[in-house]
Amino acid sequence: MERTITAGGKAYKIRASAGALIIYKAQFGREYPEELADIGNDEEKAYVVGCRLLWAMARSAKEKLPTPDEWLAMFKKKELKAALFISQILFEHSLSGRDNDKNGDEDYSSEQLMASAALCGLNTTDLNNLPLGMVVDTIDKYMDMRYGGGDSEFVSSADFFGE
């Protein structure tokens, strides 16, 4: 899911994808869900986390960007407010495909997300291009099919793929 925003009169694409979360962790050293959980009622923290996610989403769209602080300084106040709103809505939509029958309490760390995606045959391009909800649902469904929902024994790849 991709949209275009404006910073200092220049257009930038932002992408809500699993790749944006991996970029977020790599750049800022913390998982986005952890930072989100730490916000509480602190509006300043919410602003910082929102700006960080916006930058990661722009990097996910393959934009060449300066450092987060330099890039954010390019925004006019009204542009930044609009961009933060768009990024929030876009990211929420990227999660809308989540299978609501699943327990939504589990958050994948960036490392777990990459490793689990690799087990499912997804690569970094897939993580960067697919909505987060679709990636997580794919991983969950693959694990359920492969391992039987945790109650069954391991299924060999020959049995799983009918080889």
pTM for the full predicted model: 0.70
Instruction: Pick the closest to residue 53 from 82, 14, 79 (CA basis).
Output: 14
Phi, psi of 11, deg, nearest 5: -85, 135
**Span 111-121, mean pLDDT?**
79
User: What integer pLDDT is reported at residue 161 of this predicted model?
Assistant: 63
Percent of the chain whose pLDDT exceeds 90: 17
Average predicted confidence (pLDDT) for the chain: 80
The domain of 37 spans 1-163
Q: Per residue in 14-67, pLDDT tens? A: 888 888 888 999 999 998 888 888 888 889 999 999 999 999 999 988 768 889
Number of separate domains in the chain: 1
Provide φ and ψ at 17, rounded to 5°.
Answer: -150, 170
Q: Name the E strands within 16-163.
A: none
Q: Classify each residue of 117-134 as buried b or exposed e, where b means 16 or more C-beta atoms within 10 Å of its C-beta.
A: beebebeeebbbbbbbbb
Distant-in-sequence, close-in-space partners of 128: CB < 8 Å, separation ≥ 6: 15, 17, 18, 19, 20, 60
The residues that bridge with 13 in the sheet, in sequence order, are 4
Considering only CA atoms, give the Rg of the chain: 18
